[in-house]
Structure 1
Amino acid sequence: MNGVDERLRRWRLVLGGDAAETTGVSLGGRDAAMDAAFSALYGKGKKGGGRSGDRSAGLGASAPSVARWLGDIRTYFPSSVVQVMQRDAIERIGLSALLLEPEMLEAVEADVHLVGTLLSLNKAMPETTRETARTVVRKVVDELEKRLATRTRATVTGALDRSARISRPRHRDIDWGRTIRANLKNYLPEYGTVVPERLIGYGHAAQSVKKDVILCVDQSGSMAASVVYASVFGAVLASMRSISTRLVVFDTAVVDLTDQIDDPVDVLFGTQLGGGTDINRALAYCQSQITRPTDTVVVLISDLYEGGIREEMLKRVAAMKASGTQFVTLLALSDEGAPAYDHAHAEALAALGAPVFACTPDLFPDVMAAAIERRALPIPDMAPHQ
């Protein structure tokens, strides 16, 4: 196929069926199957439009036809495209209702967004579907943990070591390796030795140094991806002996899921996506759990649409910061960037010296490390409130 024909073929796939009249291209084989998969979801009359041409194919509400379609798109398109088409199918044809059937769950491409959808359906899910849903969620959680755990542990452990370092150690507590590296500029070649101007060591207490981390997570429907990532990071942090990790989720009520934190899947099925939001009540509970303010990091993950008492919420944050607690607000913990959020509340928190920004999962270990060391956070350049 020459370059012109290939361009026409691509335009035909983009524009849809009626485009054959203008492009002069008809499709066959794999191209025809791809076009049919697009037509079923984006054809004429589907909610939201999105493609030109009179495409009359559709998925309807038939579980078998949807299952076949899910298989087709996994055959013809890469995983990233499949995930987008699945999300569109949930919005356009009510695929979420069909996800209550085990055979449908086995056909979909599992990702963070699908997990969020399943969690929102948790209360309506029949018992016959629940174990299949847990298997799907487990697969996604295991993949995320594999991707994120090693770097998180290494980054946070390094921060804990640095925060425990002492500058005037007793002789037996000197860390000679770090001391020598820090003083190489003072090497005296005539004597063949290093003169240590600065001693670095770890006191006996450093072996039991512990930071307290409280993850306070908004479980309103818009925060689904953040809830998934927070549960994974909570499990990773909880696996570190030098950190005491508490996981609190909230809507208008507050639920402490710390006793389930070792298993993110249990945590996720313990959440209830949707409903209102009472950040003040959640922070009141978190504040009551702080016993060592200067060794505590509170991470609020919320879009800040507060349904509680705004003034009390801000007073609690100010009080925690005044006591020495590190307080960070993440508008989202996901790959999607900053969501819709309450700008007035974000500005008020930033004015209290509590950074407010959206955070990707890959940046989260660095944020935690900086908070533990009480240094400036690695806030993205495009962060809305710093």
Structure 2
Amino acid sequence: MNAVDERLRRWRLVLGSDAAESSGVALEGRDAAIDGVLGALYGSARKSGGRGGERSAGLGASAPSVARWLGDIRTYFPTSVVQVMQRDAIDRIGLSALLLEPELLEAVEADVHLVGALLSLNKAMPETTRETARAVVRKVVDELEKQLATRTRATVTGALDRAARINRPRHRDIDWDRTIRANLKNYLPEYGTVVPERLVGYGHAAQSVKKDVILCIDQSGSMAASVVYASVFGAVLASMRSLSTRLVVFDTAVVDLTDQLDDPVDVLFGTQLGGGTDINRALAYCQSQISRPADTVVVLISDLYEGGIRDEMLKRVAAMKASGTQFVTLLALSDEGAPAYDHDHAAALAALGTPAFACTPDLFPDVISAAIEKRPLPMGGAADTAEATDMATHR
């Protein structure tokens, strides 16, 4: 097939059956099958309404037909494309309702977004589906833990050790690299050596709890992916003896899920996606749990659409920071990039020295480590203006 024919073939698949006559391209075999599964979800171009060029869904609502379609898309497309099409199916044909059927759950390609859909259905889920749903969620959680745990533990342990450095170490505890760098001003060229006026030593962070971490997670529906990732990170951090980790989720009510952190699947099924938001109430609870302000890191994960008392929320953040607590605001903890968020509240927090920014899962260990060491956060240097907050968010 020459280059022109290949381009026509691709455009025919993109535009769907409505372009069959005008393109002059007839699809056969595998191409015809691919066109069929695309048409089943996206249908033909809408005659009126909707976005330009958008196709209407044609899958129907029966579980058998959807199950066959799910099998077909896994045959013809790579996993990343399958997951995008599943998300479109959830939005376009109400696939989320059909996920209450066990046989359909077994046919889907599990990912973070599917877990979010299942969690939103948690309260409506029949017992016949619950175990299958837990198995799907566990598969995703186990894969995420495998990807994230090793680097998180290594990065955070390093930060704890550096934060626990001492200035009167025993010989075996001297950090020679940092000691030399701290005393470079005392270099004696005639002797080719450094005279160390100050010794820098390693602390032993793993011997006892050195830092307290509180993850405060908004469980409104728009934060589904963030809830999944935060629960996994919470479980990883809780497994480290040198940290005391607390996980709090909230909407208009506040629920402390710390006692379930040994199993992030239990944490996730303890959440209830959707509902309103009362950040002030959640922060009031977190504030009440702080016993060592100078050794505490609070991470608020929220799009900041506050339904509670805005001024009280800001006062609580200011009070925690004044007491020595490290306060971090993440607008999202996901791979999606910049989310929709309340710009006024983000700017107000930035004015308090707590710029709000979106964070990808691979960056989260660095954010926690920087907070533990009381270093600038790795988020692009946002300052205390709404514009800088926007820049950090869109980084």
TM-score (norm: length of structure 1): 0.92
- Does the residue aligned with 2:59 lie in a helix, a strand or coil? coil
1-side partners of 2:356 and 2:62: how far apart?
45
Mapped pair 1:220 → 2:195:
no
* CA deviation map 1:6-63 (0-9, x unaligned): 111111111212322222210011100000011011113779567578x8x8211111
Sort the Cα spacing of 1:205 and 1:37 in 2 relative to 1 into closer, same or farther, 3 A. closer
Q: 1:384 aligns with which of 367, 385, 390?
A: 390
- Does the residue aligned with 1:165 lie in a helix, a strand or coil? coil
Amino acid at match of 2:174: D
Q: Structure 2: 5+ residue runs without aligned partners?
A: 382-387
Mapped pair 1:365 → 2:372:
no
* CA deviation map 1:238-284 (0-9, x unaligned): 01110000000000100000000111100000000000111111000
State the match for 2:247 in structure 1: 247
**2:180–2:196 CA contact under 8 A, matched in 1:** no
Amino acid at match of 2:26: S
Amino acid at match of 1:16: G
Q: How does 1:275-294 map to 2 (within 5 A)?
A: 275-294=275-294
Sort the Cα spacing of 1:379 and 1:179 in 2 relative to 1 into closer, same or farther, 3 A. closer
Sort the Cα spacing of 1:125 and 1:45 in 2 relative to 1 into closer, same or farther, 3 A. farther
State the match for 2:96 in structure 1: 96
2-side partners of 1:263 and 1:77: how far apart?
33
1-side partners of 2:178 and 2:277: how far apart?
50
**1:48–1:92 CA contact under 8 A, matched in 2:** no
- Does the residue aligned with 2:317 lie in a helix, a strand or coil? helix
Q: How does 1:1-386 map to 2 (within 5 A)?
A: 1-44=1-44, 48=50, 51=53, 58-169=58-169, 171-172=170-171, 174-175=173-174, 177-178=176-177, 182=181, 195-202=195-202, 207-208=207-208, 210-380=210-380, 383-384=389-390
1-side partners of 2:37 and 2:287: how far apart?
52
Amino acid at match of 2:390: P
2-side partners of 1:312 and 1:75: how far apart?
54
- RMSD (CA atoms): 2.5
2-side partners of 1:214 and 1:102: how far apart?
36
CA shift at 1:198, angstroms?
Answer: 3.7
* CA deviation map 1:143-177 (0-9, x unaligned): 111111111111111110100001233x4564265
Sort the Cα spacing of 1:268 and 1:193 in 2 relative to 1 into closer, same or farther, 3 A. same
CA shift at 1:208, angstroms?
Answer: 2.6
TM-score (norm: length of structure 2): 0.90
Q: Which moved more, 1:27-36 or 1:205-214?
A: 205-214
Q: Structure 1: 5+ residue runs without aligned partners?
A: none
CA shift at 1:197, angstroms?
Answer: 4.3
Runs of 4+ more than 6 Å apart: 183-194
> Identity over the aligned pairs, expressed in percent?
83
- What is the total number of aligned residue pairs between the two structures? 383
2-side partners of 1:356 and 1:131: how far apart?
38
2-side partners of 1:189 and 1:384: how far apart?
49
**2:179–2:198 CA contact under 8 A, matched in 1:** no
Sort the Cα spacing of 1:153 and 1:204 in 2 relative to 1 into closer, same or farther, 3 A. closer
CA shift at 1:179, angstroms?
Answer: 5.9
2-side partners of 1:125 and 1:32: how far apart?
37
**1:179–1:198 CA contact under 8 A, matched in 2:** no
Amino acid at match of 2:356: V
Q: Which moved more, 1:93-102 or 1:12-21?
A: 12-21
2-side partners of 1:334 and 1:52: how far apart?
27
2-side partners of 1:349 and 1:252: how far apart?
21
Q: Which moved more, 1:191-200 or 1:158-167?
A: 191-200
2-side partners of 1:209 and 1:127: how far apart?
40
- Does the residue aligned with 2:304 lie in a helix, a strand or coil? coil
